[in-house]
Amino acid sequence: MAVKKTAKKSAKKSAKKSVARKSTSKRVVKKVAKKSTARKSAVKKSAKKSAARKTTKKSSRRATSVDRLVVPAVPVGGSRGRVDVSTAPTPRSAAKSVSFDNKPKQGASNRVVTIVVVGIVLLAILVWSKSGKDGDDAAAPTMPSATATMTDEPTTTEEPTAPAATVGTVEAPTAFVALRSADGMNLRWKAPMATDGLTGFNVELKPAGGEWAVVATTGPTELTHAVALTSSDSWTQFRVSSVYADGQTASAKIFGLAGQYK
């Protein structure tokens, strides 16, 4: 019995060892397969890179092999130049050969000669006509000039009067009032501050329904004027104005009184 148990145990151990070996071999096979796959992908990538490099080199070679065509600037002038451009491939340091034919055309030179000849002829005609005109003017008789008759009567000339200078500042009288008197009113006022060019004052009356009328003109220092009452009916307006040398006037405040005055 002990021998049988020992045999069974040994058989189980050998079976387990075989199973472990199989699993280890499977793992090794998987790792080898993975490594081979990675190597294949690396080989493919390297092949793609080499192909890309080859195409890049080919394109660069084509770009360098293409000849650059250099077109020189067309010269400015009356005659047209002939341009020769060679398209054969040359190294970068070599320059294109360009030749210009600057020989003027025969037609252009003939035109210039013709224009010069015509100008000389016109100038000669102009000089000849001018000299003939000067000769005619010298031969023409001179006409006598008109003589003015002299008289013994003296002539008088009136000098124009210079206009008065414009007065810069114009002001109206101030404090214009009316003070009752025995037969009417005494009108009084104060002179303005602007006295340059002041010639006097105008005293004006306006009856009801009438027009303004100047009843007195005083000097620049006369600051009063008396008016007489003629009737107690209706009413009258009063106005006093400053008068300046250039004709400008400035009126004080207007006021009215009952009755008629003159």
* Rounded average pLDDT over 43-71: 63
Write the DSSP string, 83-135: -----S---TTSPPP-----PPPHHHHHHHHHHHHHHHHHHHHHHHHHHHHHH
Determine the pLDDT at residue 45.
Answer: 77
Share of the chain above pLDDT 90, in %: 36
- Give the highest mean pLDDT range of 42-51, 53-62, 200-209: 200-209
Give me the chain's average pLDDT, please. 75
Determine the pLDDT at residue 14.
Answer: 72
Higher pLDDT, 1 or 256: 256
Label residue 144 by pLDDT band (50, 70, 90): very low
pLDDT tens for each residue of 93-111: 444 444 545 555 566 778 8
CATH classification (class only), 174-261: mainly beta
Label residue 163 by pLDDT band (50, 70, 90): low
CA distance 35 to 246: 124
**What single DSSP character describes residue 252?**
-
Q: Are 58 and 87 in contact (CB under 8 A)?
A: no
Determine the pLDDT at residue 249.
Answer: 95
Determine the pLDDT at residue 98.
Answer: 47
Determine the pLDDT at residue 94.
Answer: 44
Q: Where are the domains of the chain?
A: 27-64, 174-261
CA distance 147 to 219: 56
Looking at residue 62, its amino acid is R
* Rounded average pLDDT over 213-222: 96
Determine the pLDDT at residue 15.
Answer: 72
- Give the highest mean pLDDT range of 25-29, 138-142, 150-154: 25-29
Query: Is pLDDT of 156 > 60?
Result: no
Determine the pLDDT at residue 27.
Answer: 80
- The DSSP element (H or E) to which 10 belongs, if any, is helix 2-65
CA distance 127 to 2: 162
26 to each of 16, 31, 32, 167, 252, how far by Cα in Å?
A: 15, 9, 10, 130, 133
Label residue 46 by pLDDT band (50, 70, 90): confident
Query: Is pLDDT of 130 > 70?
Result: yes
* Rounded average pLDDT over 194-210: 95
